[in-house]
Amino acid sequence: MNESMIVGRLFPVKVPPGAGPKNNSTPVANDNKSFKQMLQEQVLTLSNHAAKRLEQRGIELGAEQMAKITSAVDKAAAKGAKESLILMQDMALIVNVTNRTVVTAMDKQSMKDNVFTQIDSAVII
């Protein structure tokens, strides 16, 4: 398994140009959100189960793939999704959008003849 895949590792989201502070003044709290809440909104984690499935199925996620998954989670969150199926190339991921956690992962062979339950949305990337 890729060395960058560590259970519970946080994957930072790239900040779009112009989204950072506009000047050198002290940043002001955004909508009274705590630092922890803001941090959780910007990262994606892997559950122990997902990390185990990725390893068992020989799935390696690079930085580019994680960026695409993070973007898909952002889109699902914007639509109010809670549990989302993310289909990407030859793999499927179930993501808890609220907690920004990949719950499980499967390869093309594992997806075959499978029924996905307890999801409220799907994002195809």
User: Any idea what the CATH number is for the domain that residue 56 is in?
Assistant: 3.30.2310
Residue 80, exposed/middle/buried by CB under 10 A (0-12, 13-18, 19+)?
A: exposed
Q: Is the pLDDT of residue 62 over 60?
A: yes
Kindly report, residue by residue over 73-114, the tens digit of the pLDDT: 999 999 999 999 999 988 999 999 999 999 999 999 888 888
Q: Is the pLDDT of residue 8 over 60?
A: no
Kindly report, residue by residue over 114-123, the tens digit of the pLDDT: 899 999 999 9
* Parent domain of 58: 31-124
- The pLDDT value recorded for residue 48 is 95
Count CB-CB contacts under 10 A for residue 5.
18
- The pLDDT value recorded for residue 5 is 46
Mean pLDDT across the chain: 79
- The pLDDT value recorded for residue 53 is 93
Cβ-Cβ contacts under 8 Å for 21 (sequence gap 6 or more)? 27
Under the banding of pLDDT at 50, 70 and 90, the label for residue 54 is very high
Whether 7 is covered by a domain: the verdict is: no
- Partnered with residue 11 across adjacent β-strands are 44
Q: What total of structural domains would you count in the chain?
A: 1
- The pLDDT value recorded for residue 26 is 46
Whether 18 is covered by a domain: the verdict is: no
